[in-house]
Structure 1
Amino acid sequence: MNPLSILLIGLAMSTDAFAAAIGKGAAMTRPRLPQALRAGLVFGVVEAITPVIGWLLGTAASRFIEAWDHWIAFVLLAALGLHMIWQALHASDEAPEDDGNGGSLLKLAIAGLATSIDAMAVGVGLAFADVHIAVVALVIGLCTFTMVTLGVMLGRALGAVIGKRAEIAGGVILILVGAAIVHEHLSAAAA
């Protein structure tokens, strides 16, 4: 596999995380670069690990992962999105929900996992290609780190425009990303 193909795989695998990061940045109270870097690091590490797991699973699990990856991603993203919306609607006006660090590490890891399920399926496919999985995983992780960091900061600008409704917008974006994943897989299956 040539370097351009590996880079394109990395960019493709980071698009869902980028969209989720825009929502996360919009929901945060004026995120700073260290918070964006933290989110990027968590998403990047998770996104780098999942194709390796998929690669290790190989053909035995490929049918199961490919059949359910879009539903798993949708459920995780929708649950996180609904939780963000619920928090925004039930939050006290006096106390912001943001913890100053961009959310708990667990929430970031779950969001990262939700957006990287497709990378696991790609890893399964790469088990049958002439590819060094560590290089591919590193590129996917670095692309995701970069895209999520940029997404959080872009979401910051969006959050300043939206104001108090930023967390609702972030939740809706997560749900839409999940729905887009399901739509993409169902459309491909129908074709």
Structure 2
Amino acid sequence: MKLKSFQSQKGFTLIEVMVVIVIMTIMTSLVVLNIGGIDQKKAMQARELFLLDLQKINKESLDQSRVLALETHGETDVSPFSYELYEYHDQSTLQVQDLKNRWQKYTEFKTRQLPAHVSFSVQPLDGENYSKAKNTDLVGGQTPQLIWFGNGEAKTVKIQFYLEQKPIGSEIQIDHLGKINEI
């Protein structure tokens, strides 16, 4: 009669350990790749929402014959980058002219905040085109950089979005007819 000795297996085989290591490596790499991608996706979504806002502002300015301007507020330690809309009130017909009340916050457009570390810059492209203009409230040095004039026209600007000071997406250009182009 033969006695069979049963040895109980203790621990894992080398193959089992290697499979677990490979699976953990794949999962870790997916997590690391997605962490940076989330910020990029949020920035691109903010850019798309901004484009929709630009179209809405353009239509509203034209439909209601309002002079509207976009004003930006930079990111600080306590608040993210934001933008809001102002409306121009012509006071040339009034006898008392109040310089502070010419541009008033447009209450029908709420202040929009961008995600953390996302911002954009607005660069005017046609400074010399307004050299003969008489209304310095709309084209002078103290005016907002992006203005829709209420007749379908706008100041020509170039807008670039940034994520952590690195450009993302293509530049947005608004021409003098208010048309929005991505270059």
Which structure has greater strand proportion? 2
Could you say whether these structures have the same fold, taking a TM-score greater than 0.5 normalized by the shorter chain as the test? Answer: no
Q: Which has the higher contact order (CA 8 A, sep 6+)?
A: 1
TM-score normalised by structure 1 residue count? 0.28
TM-score normalised by structure 2 residue count? 0.29
